[in-house]
Amino acid sequence: MEHRKVTFHKGFGMGLAADMYIPKDATGKLAAIAVSGPFGAVKGQGPLRPADGGARLRSDGLRPFVHGERDHGRYFGEYAFEKMTGKKCDGKSVTVGNKEILIIPGASHVDLYDDQAGVIPYDKLELFFRDNLK
């Protein structure tokens, strides 16, 4: 595994730094996954309020959102999902094309950090990426 430090632009004029891991001896184009919040935050830290420009969200590209039912910031993901797809999720898991919002019953945002609660839907995420990263 090769490790590199990289930066990329997220929108709203923000640049983010990240760690990129590349399989050893990989060649050609590879699918990539950037894990960040819908409003420029990474792992839910300090997102912008929807009134601060959520309507300018990019609707192209692959977008899975994962929130706990009791996640205090769930409305950020729900708002972004609605702006990108035109569909309200009303606290339920919904898929529209290559956009998906997964609401994990009974979970808080902390339950999704390290999976000590055993609630991260790895199977659903794997299926989503397998279907959409072709």
Q: What is the pLDDT of residues 120-129, one digit of tens each?
A: 898 988 888 8
Is 26 within a domain? no
* Interval 59-86: pLDDT, tens: 566 678 889 999 888 888 898 888 889 9
Is 6 within a domain? no
Is 108 within a domain? yes
Q: How many domains does the chain have?
A: 1
* Interval 17-53: pLDDT, tens: 777 777 788 888 777 666 655 555 544 333 333 343 4
58 vs 85, which has greater pLDDT? 85
Is 2 within a domain? no
Is 28 within a domain? no
pLDDT at site 32 = 67
Is 109 within a domain? yes
Three-class HEC string of the chain: CEEEEEEEEEECCEEEEEEEEECCCCCCCCCCCCCCCCCCCCCCCCCCCHHHCHHHCCCCCCEEEEEECCCCCHHHHHHHHHHHHCCCCCCCCEEECCEEEEEECCCCCHHHCCCCCCCCCHHHHHHHHHHHCC
pLDDT at site 35 = 61
Is 96 within a domain? yes
pLDDT at site 28 = 82
In this prediction, residue 104 has a pLDDT band, given cuts at 50, 70 and 90, of very high
Is 32 within a domain? no
Q: Which domain holds residue 91?
A: 37-132
Is residue 15 scored above 60 in pLDDT?
yes
